[in-house]
Chains A and B, each alone.
Chain A
Amino acid sequence: MKRGMFWTALALATSVFAQQAFAEGSLYFGLSGEPSTLESTINAGAPARTIRLAIHRGLFNYGPDGKLSSELAEGYEVTPDALIYTFKLRDAKFHDGSAVTSADVKASIERMTAKDSKATYRNELGVIQTIETPDTKTVKLVLSKPFVPLVHYLALPESAIIPAAWIKAHGTDPNAAPVGAGPFKFTNWERGRELTVEKFDSYYKQGKPHLDDVHYVFYGDENTRVNALKSGDVDIIDYVPWKDAASIESSSDLKLASTTGPFMMLQFNTKFEPFSKPEVRQAISYAIDRSTVINTAFSGRGTPLFGIAIPEGYMGYSKEKANFFKHDPAKAKELLAKAGYPDGFEVRLLATSQYGFHNNTAIAVQAELAKIGIKVKLDLPDWSGRMAKNNAGDYDFLVAGTAGDIADPDWLSNFFYGGTQLVRLNNSAYFDDKAINDLLDKGRVTLDPVEREKIYGQFVDRALEQSPFVYMMWRDQSFGLNKKVTGFTNLPGFLTFQSGITVENVELK
């Protein structure tokens, strides 16, 4: 009995001591989900990217200002025909102590472009034909055809540079402890609960990172996540539910970091008869009062979107085209009548019951379309079921919430390009417009920015006319922070899900 008490007391004492010793530089980051995998070449969602950006760095990444930042590469040169890119590497070290060399870059990129690779951006990076390494600090990429957005794809978290030796030893083992050149070393992943990383002393940015370690704790339930922030269990949370944003802003201990990058849109199956007509898709754009969606599904935290979802400052944005549509039910009815549906029609809307904002957007859309006579029946499976239906084209139209992947206008290809695979996650099923395909093809190979701007201007005109998507709103995307956390930035524009990179700047007061 006495013995037992002694051990308990000892355990208690040591644990309290241990906690205090670490308390200074430990950040607790509440994430909305657990990564399914740490495999660096697969985009497994926002939480996985947040963690990846602590462990890994690429040749480039996006910095706090949303612009490309040189990371492992000091800079690059490109030949006028946009076929050869030459990168100079800086002096940097991997977590295993070895230096970052051109051989590592070659191995990392070849791993993504290999025939049997499962890399998410394999298609885009597939234009890289050969990789030359004239010396240990120089890398030359030779492309099979001009591809202007290349550097942006290399700046994605999934284009991380990892040691060639590691690839050889662990490349096919999804469970191997990751090794990168980022500010934090992987220490432990307790499945289902938390993933821990610790400071990497030889990080190539002098004086960074400031924290000793970061605990990424997984909080799937949004209400629980918010409570964890409010009670001080964690210091930062991602994906703040819109309904709780106000209470975080008004709290004396907490602050909110918001951007308006991601957008909500409707994606159509253009084989479903009414939706095969551009007029009908336009009518839907005119019919939906954007403020209804924003005020109900997003607690007023969003900005109406009446054109194509191109953020201000991105190529292709223009002020007059940004508000091409407006809320005009009369015009919507007129367009419906013109298309041959004066009394509306019945239609299924696919969304998911698993995420409240998808679910509620669908309900708001249903109510708005009822006003022009379109009877919407909701189909609300769980997320996995919705994804399967989405990918099989088993929908009439669906609610999607997403963002472009990169800050280069080529992000549009993923959504608008037709081509050979006409049923995909992100395109409107079976939509294939030759004019749009040609413009997107041209945009990727044109180096001159003025010329490029013109091409994407033409693209926007054609896209609005065809309206394969109806964009509804920019939604606020927020992190909630304890006020003692400084240095964390929510990246602007599309890049909010890559904000994890700024953990290297975080300090605790």
Chain B
Amino acid sequence: MSASIAGALLLICRKLLTALIQLWVVATLIFSVMYIMPGDPVLLLLGADSNPSPEAIASMRAQLGLDQPAVSQYFVWLWNALHLDFGKSLTNGYPVSNYVMQNLPRTLELAFVAIIIAALVGVPLGVAAALKRGSTRDTVLTSIATLGISVPVYIVGTLLVLVFSLKLGWLPASGYTDIARNVVEHFRKLALPAIALGLGLAASIARMTRSSVLEILGRDFVRALRAKGMSERRIIWQHVLRNAAIPIVTIIGLQLGNLMGGTVLVEAMFNWPGLSTLLVGAVSARNYPLVQGSMLAIAAAFILINLLVELLYSLLDPRIRRKRS
């Protein structure tokens, strides 16, 4: 017993170490990308309608440390990042970690609620379609799911706003209220973006669920179980769904991870001040430290979620656990 706990701990440690190395690779890539990118933060900093002189530009660049060689900038940055200091925003000197800590939970919240909505809608639909394969129900469900995939999230969002806030006036069109300030308002403002995001994801989860369930249904062991006279209900609940769970969890985990940097359009259209908003704004302003910090946060969240999904795998599929250990 204790040996297996030790083994599990070892596994977790190994995965954590891998995650850290991965994070370092990502960090290095992120850092180098910023220097290749076109555009110049200094021009934007010196004002909208000014004609900055070359001297003003040079002095600004020196002040921001942008005149140092890239390699030395990299090591300074990495060393500070190790101490969780991601530098300061170029535009106003506000610490990047403050920005990230403020916006990260909002994106996490939006993503989790959306993925829960998506799973609650998508998995049952997919199973329902698969069990009556080729029937009218299957065709209708599959068509709806396809429609869901092919309608972009900003169209879904716009329609939701049109109906639920402009026509009916039930929900606010956009914005964010701190949960500490007003709980009800907080969730009222979360509702539309989470639904808009969740519906699109539900469609692809439904598609994946349908095909995995179908695939398991075609396996030999299912036929064997049927031949043994096991009830269809038991076959599906105990065997088919359990086996189909791995690819389904894979895609849900993958999507949750993607949401870390992929809520851009939804955050923008609902004015949800999350991590993507931060990143896009920072990219537009070529605010290097903020871009690096928010991307690192996105990558870290992504890697962490993946870690959890992998651990979940081994819970779901004892064979993988055995093979790995």
Contact = CB atoms under 8 A, between A and B. Distances in A.
- Physical contact A–B (CB less than 8 Å): yes
A388 interface: yes
B182 A384 contact: no
Contacts of B60: 118
B49 A224 contact: no
B158 A223 contact: yes
A34 B281 contact: yes
Contact of A231 (B43, B54, B172, B281): B172
A175 B92 CA distance: 6
B173 A227 contact: yes
B284 A382 contact: yes
A221 B49 contact: no
B270 interface: yes
A445 interface: no
Contact of A120 (B50, B182, B184, B273): B50
A223 B40 contact: no
A122 to B, nearest CB: 8
A11 B161 contact: no
Interface residues of B, number: 52
Nearest to A121: B50
B93 A192 contact: no
Nearest to A381: B38
Interface in B27-78: 38-40, 43-51, 53-54, 56, 59-60
Contacts of B116: none
A193 B165 CA distance: 20
Interface in B152-166: 158, 161, 165-166
Given A15-B185, A192-B102, A388-B40, A230 B176 contact: no
B134 to A, nearest CB: 42
B284 A354 contact: yes
B47 A120 contact: yes
A230 B93 contact: no
Given A221-B268, A382-B284, A385-B38, A36 B92 contact: yes
A37 interface: yes
A65 interface: no
A221 B102 CA distance: 21
Contacts of A43: 47-50
A228 B175 contact: yes
A391 interface: yes
Interface string A386-404: 0110010000000000100
Contacts of B165: 227, 231
B103 interface: yes
Contact of B268 (A16, A37, A224, A388): A224
B181 A15 contact: yes
A11 B187 CA distance: 14
Interface string A142-184: 0000000000000000000000000000000111000000000
Given A15-B182, A192-B102, A388-B38, A228 B278 contact: no
A224 B281 contact: no
A218 B281 CA distance: 12
Contacts of B99: 191-192
A192 B278 contact: yes
Nearest to A392: B40
A382 B284 CA distance: 7
13 contacts: A12-B183, A174-B92, A192-B281, A193-B273, A223-B158, A223-B269, A227-B166, A231-B161, A231-B166, A381-B39, A384-B286, A387-B44, A421-B53
